[in-house]
Amino acid sequence: MKIADKSTSAEKLVRDALEKAKKYAEYNIFTFLNEEGALKKAREIDARIKKGEKVGKLAGVPYALKDNFLSPEGETTASAHILEGFVSPITATAVAKLEAEGAIMIGRTNLDAFAHGSSTENSYFGPTLNSRDKKRVAGGSSGGSAVAVALDIVEFATGTDTGGSIRQPASFNGVYGLKPTYGCISRYGVVAMASSTDCIGFFTKTPDDMDLLMSIASGQDPKDMTTLPDYYNTDADTELSDLRPSWATGADRAPEPRNDGREGACRGSLNSSVRIGIIKDFDNESVDSDIREALKKKVELLKSKGHEIVELEMPALKYGLAAYYIIVPAEVASNLSRYDGVRYGFRSEKSDDLDALYYNTRFEGFMPENKRRIMIGNFVLSSGFYDAYFLKAAKARTMIINEYEKAFSECDFILTPVSPNPAFKLGEKVNDPVAMYLEDVMSVSLNLAGVPGLTIPAGETKDGLAVGLQLVGPRRSDKALIEFSKELA
């Protein structure tokens, strides 16, 4: 990462980033450009460097903030009409941590409204264009952030991943994108979508940058009771092999005995053999041939480096998407019930009484996809349907978790496609919600299980579109995952 020091200045880094952001205006990446605020902070950092004062690990590094992170700089809209005009008095913990190290937010990035979508076309501000082909989608929901990094406007960008919203746009734009273990980074001050699967993560150009950001952002936060004690930094010296099986190494659980005779088999360094799982069902006709080709190439690369390839059968994953589109809408219906037009954001003024105010504000303020998800959520939670849908999905979730646990007793990491196809054309799926949901078929199961996944760039298609693959590890294996991704470069 380009850090401000005596050879360059924070002001120059920020000015360059802002200039590039304007140059690429047609991509519709930003919902807000923080020109004044960013330059002011840059000058402060330059003054401190000049005086010889200590500056942070991200001093002067320009970054882009997905517009569902709260901070007082610019409106936080989550690209939704209903939050129009909302300037947050509070700052998200993740933002506070980045800025404490000197990172400078140069703009807020576009997303599908409330992060509901896989293309950034559901944004109130219109779609973000793909960095490789302007006729194609950026992916989503964190489309703006992915394109901001891919076009080299910023050094890194934040994202949120509830079912693939970091990994899929990273894959569509050829950058690294990490969805960490559930609970690794505080969700305080981030617009809630589905609380049991929401994760904060990043887009970067290199694994090392990802590691640096994770070391800064992770850790327990008293403002988010679902944050884990900092394992990312305390396990800093942990070698890859020590993390197996990582759900058994949590402070609150005793390690499980291992009976596979491989005790210590790959302790030491990354040069030793690692077992990589390939999911049988994912390598079939439904996946684009260029993506299957990319996967094959990486498998050959891993074999040539002496790693072991293990074939996995994970039949329950087939039901991951259906379970996801029950559980997540249920949580969405609950989380989005707070937007009523009374205390902040957009208010419909046409209403004669309070009920009409709620109904009209939510009618005008939500995008169609927000409404679909809220209604599906209320449907699956309704008496009469709860057992058949919500409870059934919660049980399917257990089966998916069990399947990952079994898989990680047979391998260290899993390598899979992120999505069945590369970036699709704008407008191709926007009127077909189920086709859009199917985009998430390979990404949502990780969120249901709470395990981390890292998108790595894996070449391009014959047409020059970016292809990414997803490296999946057991819970708390984030650091090892990032480290191992270097083997695939």
Partner 1 sequence: MEIKREDILHLADLSEFALDEKETESLGGDLQEIIGYISQLDELDTSDIQPTYQVFEMENIWRDDEILPQDATREQLLALTKNEKDNQIKVPKVL
Q: By rule CB under 8 A, what string of x and - marks binding of each residue 56-85 to partner 1?
A: -----------------------------x
Answer yes or no: are the C-beta atoms of 88 and 77 closer than 8 Å.
no
CB of 42 to partner 1, least distance (A): 25
Return the residue of 325, 408, 424, 484 that touches partner 1, per CB under 8 A: 325
Return the number of the residue (306 or 315) whose C-beta is nearest partner 1.
315
347 binds partner 1 (CB under 8 A): yes
User: Is the Cα dihedral 289, 294, 297, 302 positive or negative?
Assistant: negative
Q: Rounded to the nearest whole angstrom, what is the least distance from the CB of residue 324 to partner 1 in the complex?
A: 9
* Of 50, 262, 363, 425, the one binding partner 1 by CB under 8 A: 363
- How many other C-beta atoms can be found within 10 angstroms of the C-beta atom of residue 172? 37
CA angle 161, 143, 287 (to 5 degrees): 75
For the question of residue 66 being annotated catalytic, the response is: yes
Residue 35: what residue type? E
Question: Among residues 44, 152, 293, 358, which is the contact residue for partner 1, using CB under 8 A?
Answer: 358
Q: Is 165 in the active site?
A: yes
For the CB of residue 75, give the shortest distance to partner 1 in the complex, in Å.
11
Q: Please, what is the minimum distance in Å from the beta carbon of residue 305 to partner 1?
A: 32
| 100 forms part of the interface with partner 1 (CB under 8 A) | no
**Residue 199 near partner 1 by CB under 8 A:** no
Q: Using the rule CB under 8 A, which residue among 206, 272, 334, 378 binds partner 1? A: 378
| C-beta closer to partner 1: residue 122 or 173 | 122
Give the separation between CA 326 and CA 260, rounded to whole angstroms. Answer: 37
Contact string 269-308 vs partner 1 (x = CB under 8 A): ----------------------------------------
What are the residues whose beta carbons fall under 8 Å from the beta carbon of 299, sequence distance 6 or more? 276, 278, 309, 415
Helix (H) or strand (E) holding 230: none
Look at residues 110, 92, 158, 70 and name the one whose alpha carbon lies nearest to residue 344: 70
Which residue, 372, 334, 393, 88, is CA-closest to 194?
Answer: 334
Catalytic residue among 9, 79, 131, 141: 141
Spell out the SS3 assignment of 409-447.
HHCCEEEEECCCCCCCECCCCCCCHHHHHHCCCCCHHHH
Using rule CB under 8 A, residue 234 touches partner 1: no
By annotation, the residues acting in catalysis are 66, 141, 165
